[in-house]
Amino acid sequence: MKKRSASSPPAGRARTKEGSTSEAKAVTAEEFDILHDAGVDLTPYVDLSQARRPGRDVQRVNVDFPVDLLRAIDREARRIGVTRQAFIKLRLSDTLIRP
């Protein structure tokens, strides 16, 4: 689990692509819903520095593969145009049954 800092960024601040901060516009939940339903770009109303995708926490693992299997993995990864790591993730994801 990721350890969080004791301090948090100032409320109402959002990072832009350039890395600077800008004031996020404050709206009520009801106003936010109305803007969403109207198809308005909600980026100015969201603090993206706090955004994360639920269920996507990452934990590093080390796995030892026989050399022949690793060569086969590398060949197939090159064939489909992905990295070794991406290929392994794809194949595991394809074979596991999700609840």
Q: Average pLDDT in the 18-30 region? A: 69
- List the domains of the chain with CATH numbers: 13-50 (no CATH), 58-99 (1.10.1220)
At 29-79, the pLDDT tens digits run 999 999 999 999 998 988 888 888 888 888 999 999 999 999 999 999 999
pLDDT recorded at residue 47: 87
- Write the CB contacts of 35 (distance below 8 Å, at least 6 apart in sequence): 27, 42, 45
Residue with tokens 């050399």: 67
Q: ∠ CA(65), CA(69), CA(70), 5° rounding? A: 65
